[in-house]
A and B are shown apart, each in its own frame.
Chain A
């Protein structure tokens, strides 16, 4: 009945410690991956804007030279809203404006060589086709001299939806491509607020 003297001590606490460290490392690694992806996505255009840029670039024989590309998503905007809560004297308009934006993406490009009339027409056609493939439709198209304006919205945009919009604007020297998703309700409140203030000023 005597217990053998050479029984090894239980290893359970050591294994548990290893498991905890293991999970901490996994979580840290996951956070790092998310942080890297978030950081990288800040410097990339959103999907729709990327598609529009690609179409324009092909039609212009690769004339787009990137100056800057920036994107802000819900995480960064949420962080901005949180930070803004702790800052004094921020006008309510700024809060409402930030509330309105869900995500935004903008790219600014230089056109390396001037575009021919044929290329400008090709830009319109390719852009319309590329966006149609993504189920977006053109709501505004303007081609006047070297000026070009293209505005697209989702085909199935319904009343009450957040407004998604994708635009390309060029003056022949530079091109801006942007996309954004905004909530209409905070913008309406913003307009109401400004209108209320204007009325107060008139009363004074």
Chain B
């Protein structure tokens, strides 16, 4: 009997531990993986966590309370801008394509698809209950030979998306009305 109890405890602990990684990151978080600066190409990476966003919200509170609420509700913002040089162009395009496929199959909803000449834009949302979103992912392969990846994680209201695009300067989100979508 003692043996069985020990096994049960071990199994329960293993089950609990196996669940931990699922809860370690918010459902709106997407791991873009590691990007390296490529020689001679533009490279931008911004990765703001909750503490920094709360601080930014506190600073914005007196000037723009609505924006402060919006920023304060975010858990993480990651932006990658990668210049597509000759060497990394194909591999980056392949990574963006793989990411889109991964999101399509992981409960994310593709709300925007634009293919205009060399511009290729896809926006995904991870819906929560009601009018809330867990996260937004924007993927852009632009005609300027740049790849842009954005992941906004947090408790985001549908109506705040355009404001988010405006404040974080994310063009594809600026005119997005998800209520119409």
Contact = CB atoms under 8 A, between A and B. Distances in A.
Interface string A134-146: 0001111111100
A137 B54 CA distance: 17
Given A118-B39, A121-B38, A187 B44 contact: no
B63 A140 contact: no
A157 B52 CA distance: 8
A140 B51 contact: no
Contact of B37 (A121, A184, A191): A121
Given A144-B42, A153-B52, A159-B54, A137 B61 contact: no
A124 B37 contact: yes
Which secondary structure dominates where chain B touches chain A?
mixed
B103 to A, nearest CB: 24
Interface string B39-52: 11011111111111
A141 B44 contact: yes
Interface residues of B, number: 23
B108 to A, nearest CB: 25
A188 B48 contact: no
Contacts, number: 64
A140 B55 CA distance: 16
A55 to B, nearest CB: 15
Contact of A141 (B37, B39, B55): B37
Interface of A: 117-118, 120-121, 124-125, 137-144, 153, 157-159, 161, 163, 184, 187-188, 191-192, 195
Interface of B: 36-40, 42-52, 54-55, 58-59, 61-63
By Cβ-Cβ distance, the 10 closest A-B pairs, closest first, are A117-B39, A195-B62, A117-B40, A143-B43, A141-B45, A121-B37, A157-B51, A159-B51, A159-B54, A192-B62
